[in-house]
Amino acid sequence: LPLGWEEAYDPQIGPYYINHVNQVTQLEDPRLEWLGIQEAMLRDYLHTAQEALEAKREMYDVKKQRLCL
């Protein structure tokens, strides 16, 4: 669990999570939320990296064509 979080169990609702930093409780596992955030960050990074790679490829092709002239 993230720093400041605790997992507790209630017989009627099952597991729940306590955020001692913000003093709130929730039923959703905070690790799942963090995984979603990480996935979105990775998706954004890969998109940016793909665009940069395509731009470099285009510049390489232009330079290669100029050398052949």
User: What is the model's pTM?
Assistant: 0.57
Contact present, 6 and 21 (Cβ < 8 Å): no
- Are 1 and 7 contacting, i.e. CB atoms less than 8 angstroms apart? yes
Element housing 47 (H / E): helix 30-68
pLDDT value of position 55: 95
Reduced to 3 states (helix: H, G, I; strand: E, B; else coil), residue 11 is: coil
Grade residue 68 by pLDDT with cuts at 50, 70 and 90. Answer: confident
Structure-token pair, residue 50: 């793909």
